[in-house]
Amino acid sequence: MKHYINILLLLICITANAQTNVIQTIPDIDSTFTSKLTGEYFYENTHYIGEQFFNKDWTEGDILLSNGTMIYKKSLKYNGLRDELIWLNSSNYGKFKLDKSSISEFWLKNISDHDIHFKRINVRDTSLTRQPDIFAEVKVEGKLSLYIQRKVSVIGSENVRTDNTVISYDDLKNSPRYYIKLPTNQYLMLTKLRRRAFLRLFPEDKKAINKIIKDNHLKVKVESDFVKLIELMNQ
């Protein structure tokens, strides 16, 4: 009996409180504090042979904005051809190319059971002219950092006839670029993973690098081995 009275009193207490509680009537705090994504409408050109996106399907992802705020669970695609992050706005189903300057980093979740981390970096060429920022996948960060730009390039075009009309399709090919960031904040770039080309970037450490490759049975032309090599060089 005492038990029932206790429960009854607790319910009365909660109900009485709910009557004066106006929490439900104020605007949602999360939406107040959430920064807004900005970008322009993305007109998707589908006349391609090959895949222009790094992730073919819309993937859930998080974005770290340049102002330091995080935006979670957005439908995202990374376009390697244009080096742009595309956002599918679930409220109006519009596809928007997000302003690159507003994004610092982003994570594409559960791609082949992994989260892929991208970062906006500024790489300069040898002429020291300012180049636009690029989005690159973060593979290793340390004394030496390795970033991979998941670039897609047009390598040719084909004319395809459909219903008496000829449409030109561009042939696309993945052409990743490997950026190695030195402790001096300089970037070295490799377009192809070749042992000789890589060793040429570090002429003074050639012997030591060769030893690491040999001891760990690494093949520089295999991307995962190359990542491991950079990790071992950092140790």
Partner 1 sequence: MQQLALIYCNVKAENIGSEIAYLQTDRTAYIAGESVFYKLYVLDEVTKKRSELSKVGYIVLRTTNSDVALKFRVSIHAGMANGSLALPDTLTSGVYQIVAFTSAMKNLGDDHFFHKVITVANRFDKALDFKLIQSTLQDTVSSQKNSELKISTDKSIYNCGEKVMVNLGRTNSKANVSVSVFEESKIPSIYKSIVQALNDSSISRNKNQATGYYSPESKGKILRGSVVDAKTKQKIKNAIVLLSCIDTIPNLEYAVTNSNGLFQMLLSDYYNGKELFLTIKNIPVNQNWEIKTEDEFAQSEKWNPSLMPPNGNNKEYIVKSQNLVYINKSYKLEKSVNEKQQTEPRIIVPRFYYCPVITVLPSDFVPLDSFPEIAVEILPQVRLIKEKGKYHVQMVDELSKGYQKNDPAIFLDGVYLDDVNKIIGLGSEQIKKIDLITSERAFGDLVFSGAVSITTRTNEMINSKPVSYSFRVKNDNINSGANLVPDNSPPDKNSPFLRQLLYWNPSLGLNATDDTNFEFYTSDNSAKFIIKVEGISEDGTPISASSAIQVENQINVTDK
Question: What's the min distance (Å) between Cβ of 141 and partner 1?
Answer: 23
Residue 46 interacts with partner 1 (CB under 8 A)? no
91 part of the interface to partner 1, by CB under 8 A: yes
- Residue 43 CB neighbour total at 10 angstroms: 7
Please identify which residue in 15, 27, 57, 207 interacts with partner 1, judged by CB under 8 A.
27
140: phi then psi, degrees, rounded to nearest 5? -135, 135
Q: Which residues contact 52 (CB under 8 A, 6 or more apart)?
A: 45, 79, 80, 81, 82, 152, 172
Q: 3-state class of 180 per DSSP?
A: strand
Q: How far is the CB of 47 from partner 1 (least distance, A)?
A: 14
Q: What is the total count of residues that contact partner 1 (CB under 8 A)?
A: 39
How far is the C-alpha of 180 from the C-alpha of 15, rounded, in Å? 62
| Distance in angstroms (rounded) separating the CA atoms of residues 24 and 22 | 5
Mask: binding to partner 1, 96-135, rule CB under 8 A, as x and -? x--xxxx---------------------------------
Residue ranges in contact with partner 1 by CB under 8 A: 5-6, 9-10, 13-14, 17, 20-23, 25-29, 31-33, 36-41, 43, 66-68, 87, 89, 91-92, 94, 96, 99-102
